[in-house]
Amino acid sequence: MASDLIIGMVGSGGDGVVSAGEALMAAAAAEGYHVVLTKSFGSQIRGGESSCRVRVSTEEVLSSGGTLDVLVVLSWEDFLKFGAELPVGGHTTIIYDGKTGAAEQIPLSSVTPAEVLAVSIGEMAKQAAGTDKAKNTVVLGLLAGWVGIGREAIVANLRKKFAKKAPDVVAGNERAFAAGLAYAEAHALHGTRVMAAARADDRKLLVIDGNSMCAAAAIFAGCEFFGGYPITPSTEIMQFLDRELWKYGGTVLQAEDEMAGVGAAIGASFGGKKSMTATSGPGMSLKTELLGLASIAEIPLVCINVQRGGPSTGLPTKSEQADLFQAIFSGHGDCVRPIVAPVSVADTFAVTVEAFNIAEAYQTPVIVLSDQEIAQRKETVRPIDTQAIRLLERRQPTASELAHYERFRLTESGVSPISRPGVPGGNYLASGIEHNECGAPSASGEVHARMTAKRVKKLDALKQRRDLFLLEGDPDAPLGLVAWGSVAGAAREALRLARAEGLRVKLLVPKLLYPVAEAVYEDFFESVQTGLVVEQSFQGQLHRVIRMYVNVPAGMGSLAKSGANPIVAGEIVDQLRTLSLNLQRRRVPDLQPVE
Amino acid sequence: MTTNVGAQAIESYTTKDYRSALTPIWCPGCGDFGVLSAIYRALTNIGRPPHEIAFVSGIGCSSRIPGYTTAYGFNSVHGRALPIAQGIKLANPDLLVLVAGGDGDGFSIGGGHLPHAIRRNLDLTYIVMDNQIYGLTKGQLSPTSPQGLSTVTSTYGSLEAPVNPLSYVLGYGAGFVAQGTPADMVGLEALILAGIRFPGFAFINVQSPCVTFGQPELQLKAHKAMLKRLDALGHDPTDRVRALTLAQDYGKELYVGMFYQAPTPAPTYGALVRTRQERLRGQARPKERILEMFAPA
């Protein structure tokens, strides 16, 4: 019996493989399995290639995983467009629609899958439902038979899904499911793929995607204004808020462009409301000047960047972690803005709330670097205890402070009380031009020096936030891993696999990427002789940023790759083994980035 | 620049209450002094305490103006005054929100925001100090500079036809379109006052000459001689088509007064927002339980 199974499905846009993945996930979650669902598409609006991966486990799932255990192919032509996003290995079972190509034409080079099975999926759909549109339902029947998930739940969900359609649509799909199931029961696989039973207490898992989680967290944190412009892969944040935020007395503005979206959010925050904007790389480029305005005018603001491949239009539908340099360095002038990054859908809640807390407490824009992988994948998530989360509000002036109000008064923490329009006596001028303590514009070098120091130093306190780092593994390990964002999931998985093999390794996952908390890294690196910074950017951006601030052990290398193809646990473990062997031979490996 | 005026229980205000301690950076004789003065007077007439006013601007000589008032000011970045002002108004609908800037701010770098501010129709008053030149950066071509104008960035004369702000905003569907000049202070104050009172987006183009880099023949003295009052011409400000025809003379004639004022103003975006919020308010699930919507059915 399997306790962890990765199922991939691929076909053309109309084949419905993604909705099959959704249905499989819903059924598995209802049965108490932990599930991660990722989808991948070409950029076509309709049609084109589409695929999904469903990872089902009896334990918490940390990443969408590597090599597939089961692959369902409705079209080999579409399969080829995904490359390493749908990796096939020696243990993969492949089920394909016999119509998409003869066995000898299967385009798999240099790998012999465990089992390759042609099934007349399209024919079965036509016979059962009168249309090959029901192909995906046949697939669900096949999987229910071979994997053992969703025998009841899938049919029940089908009935709900097609409730508003003609009765024969429901009946046709039920027959298609039954046909798939019957086929699977009559044709056993060589190696079993049946899932072990899930834990009963996990039946309360939520099913949610990263973007919805981010938006829900914003509402929980007290966000009352969202201004933004639709852009893939962040748009679901705006869509969720447009459905929900109004109910809480908030406002959603679909602005005319990215600058107007963030500008309106800055205005709303100046007006006293917790505010947010969300975008992806190209939008971040456009918003840059206004983020600088929020920094100098000390306006709280949360800015979500769901990273995709870049530069320019790049890979709009695929994940990459290559906007870290941009997040840190894109503004002109001496300016620090906090950057945080979630490591999973579940973690997106806490990290988004944290972004609001930092923005409000320190009166600064905060960038949340999510990525397409986290933002658009669906995860099963344990219910979150929101009672335990503290929400911070901006420090408002007291009555006595209002009697002689100085908006940018120098304080020990660098944070000055912030007024808002409507408050008598709190009147001030917010400005992008340098200003003195009272808010009056100034071109004085002295004023500029002390206000710059105020704005930079107020954020130093964040470096003490060790709770914004995950630390796992052997504290004295000579092998160190550092990873962030969605790739942290693969790194955590790799850590477990490597330790199970007896490697002495530890992992540091920064959720606070900037300012760089030097002491946290220095403590981590104390025992480290060799290791890897793992990230999905060609240049190894985090690795280079850490090296700007911290004395990193010479033996620390990079596992850095550009986007789309995910970094998986297996390749991290492979490299850890090599590093460990080199260590035993007392040799330090080369520092070249590893492709 | 702070003021405590708002904290006191003053029932009526004088222009002094809206004047901040900052000294304007403008050149002596700049048209913007007249605009500032007209704003002080209009605000006095309205009588809202300064802390209930937000005054937003972008970048340019004229964009310094919020700092010269005691209102809550926001001197933002080039071209983005309108989005920021809309955010402020949406966050805090009871505020009186003024927006000001120059022709470069409003029609060039920020030109993309103007049609959207107009179609969104928040209750804002947008005062553009149009001087057909970039004064703060010392005399470059502006989007309203006349074709052929020689400047430091159009050494051999500008090749481009100028923007016509009046026909733009009329074409975009603004419900309130006026033009004034500090050469007619009474008229200018009345237009600003009417703009503030108008329930929706009000646009006031002020021909505010640049005394240092502007055309010498187009200074305030010349304005006095050349201005033509629209009411004296018998223009009916509810006649949008006639207003569009008159607007074609931008750059040739100096019409002052009301080009167009919608006789029955459309509901403001702010009002629509509040209606929606109230309609949906009962449907909110407690924030701390928001994730329950993702529980399996």
- Higher-pLDDT residue of A190, A579: A579
Percentage of chain A surpassing pLDDT 70?
A: 98
Residue B198: the pLDDT is 98
> Which chain B residues have a beta carbon less than 8 Å from that of A292?
77
Is the pLDDT reported for residue B3 higher than 50? no
Task: Answer whether A427 sits within 8 Å of B70, measured CB to CB.
Answer: yes
| Site from A213, A301, A347, A429 to mutate, B interface, most B CB atoms within 10 angstroms | A429
Is the pLDDT reported for residue A593 higher than 60? no
Here the tokens at position B23 are 């000294």
Average pLDDT, whole number, for chain A? 95
Is the pLDDT reported for residue A146 higher than 70? yes
Percentage of chain B surpassing pLDDT 90?
A: 95
Q: Please compute the mean of the pLDDT values over residues A155-173 and round it to a whole number.
A: 88
Is the pLDDT reported for residue A474 higher than 80? yes
Task: Answer whether B67 sits within 8 Å of A441, measured CB to CB.
Answer: yes
Q: Closest Cα partner for B38 from B225, B176, B179, B190? A: B190
A195-199, A489-493, B293-297: the lowest-pLDDT one = B293-297
Q: Which helix (H) or strand (E) holds B144?
A: none
- pLDDT grade for A194, boundaries at 50, 70 and 90: very high
Residue A588: the pLDDT is 52
pLDDT in tens, A360-373: 999 999 999 999 99
pLDDT in tens, A277-320: 999 999 999 999 999 999 999 999 999 999 999 999 999 999 99
Is the pLDDT reported for residue B43 higher than 70? yes
Residue B1: the pLDDT is 39
Beta-carbon count within 10 A of A482 CB: 27
Report the alpha-carbon distance of residue A260 to residue B87 in Å, rounded.
Answer: 9
Chain A window 202-221: which residues touch B at a Cβ cutoff of 8 Å? 204-208, 212, 216, 219-220
Whether B96 and chain A come into contact, CB under 8 Å, resolves to no
pLDDT in tens, B145-160: 999 999 999 999 999 9
- pLDDT grade for B8, boundaries at 50, 70 and 90: very low
Report the alpha-carbon distance of residue A140 to residue A127 in Å, rounded.
Answer: 16
Q: Closest Cα partner for A162 from A41, A50, A17, A23? A: A23
pLDDT in tens, B44-60: 999 999 999 999 999 99
- pLDDT grade for A430, boundaries at 50, 70 and 90: very high
Exposed e or buried b for every residue in A275-309, given b needs 16+ CB within 10 A? Answer: bbbbbbbbbbbbbbbbbbbbbbbbbbbbbbbbbbb
Is the pLDDT reported for residue B10 higher than 60? no
Average pLDDT, whole number, for chain B? 95
DSSP conformational letter for A245: G
Strands of A378-381's sheet in order across: A115-119, A93-97, A70-73, A4-12, A49-57, A34-41, A378-381, A206-209
Report the alpha-carbon distance of residue A156 to residue A150 in Å, rounded.
Answer: 9
Residue A47: the pLDDT is 73
- pLDDT grade for A105, boundaries at 50, 70 and 90: confident
pLDDT in tens, A525-574: 999 999 999 999 999 999 999 999 999 999 999 999 999 888 999 999 99
Is the pLDDT reported for residue A11 higher than 70? yes
Report the alpha-carbon distance of residue B206 to residue B186 in Å, rounded.
Answer: 13
Whether B48 and chain A come into contact, CB under 8 Å, resolves to no
- Residue listed under structure tokens 């709770």: A467
Of A257, A266, A272, the CB nearest to B112: A257
Q: Please compute the mean of the pLDDT values over residues A578-583 and round it to a whole number.
A: 95
> Which chain A residues have a beta carbon less than 8 Å from that of B73?
428-431
Residue B2: the pLDDT is 40
Q: Please compute the mean of the pLDDT values over residues B70-81 and round it to a whole number.
A: 98
Report the alpha-carbon distance of residue A246 to residue B274 in Å, rounded.
Answer: 9
Q: Please compute the mean of the pLDDT values over residues A327-337 and round it to a whole number.
A: 96
Residue A389: the pLDDT is 97
Q: Please compute the mean of the pLDDT values over residues A215-237 and round it to a whole number.
A: 98
Of B66, B288, B297, the CB nearest to A387: B288
Here the tokens at position A374 are 């986290």
Residue B244: the pLDDT is 98
Residue A197: the pLDDT is 94
Q: Please compute the mean of the pLDDT values over residues B25-53 and round it to a whole number.
A: 98
Exposed e or buried b for every residue in A199-215, given b needs 16+ CB within 10 A? Answer: eeebeebbbbbbbbbbb
- Residue listed under structure tokens 């042609």: A118
Q: Please compute the mean of the pLDDT values over residues A140-161 and round it to a whole number.
A: 93
Residue A586: the pLDDT is 67
Q: Closest Cα partner for B136 from A100, A142, A433, A411? A: A433
- pLDDT grade for A595, boundaries at 50, 70 and 90: low
> Which chain B residues have a beta carbon less than 8 Å from that of A249?
277, 281
